[in-house]
Amino acid sequence: MKTSNYYIELQMYCQGRYITIASFDQNSCEKIIHELFDELRGDHEASDIRRLRINLLLNDTAASKTQLRSIHCTLDELAENTKIIIKKTFRSVNFD
């Protein structure tokens, strides 16, 4: 399997733009990282109740990141998604 450098960014909408509040470095294969992103709760469209966003980014080069996927979520969904991300990251780091 091809291994690449992926990032998951957590962002919140503030003063007319999204700002990054957290970032997870994911050194996982493409299949695993997309399976993880498929498990996340939320919607692909932003709304008044979904002001938080999770982006899946691929680090192409030292200066370039490509956004592959994005999901918008509520605070409760973000809490659940963070648990999912932490569990998968822990397993990947400790058991792979």
| Domain range annotation of the chain | 6-95
Closest CA to 50 of 20, 7, 11: 11
For 22-71, write each residue's pLDDT tens digit. 988 877 778 888 889 999 999 999 899 999 999 999 987 767 889 999 99
pTM, to two decimals = 0.85
**For the stretch 55-71, what's the b/e string if a residue is b when 16 or more beta carbons lie within 10 angstroms of its beta carbon?**
bbbbbeeeeeeeeebbb
Please tell me whether residue 85 adopts helix, strand or coil conformation. Answer: helix
At residue 78, what are phi and psi to the nearest 5 degrees?
-65, -40
Burial of 74 (0-12, 13-18, 19+ CB in 10 A): middle
- What pLDDT digit, counting tens, does each position of 77-92 carry? 999 999 999 898 888 7
Q: Report pLDDT for 1.
A: 45
**What is residue 17's three-state secondary structure?**
strand
Beta bridge partners of 59: 65
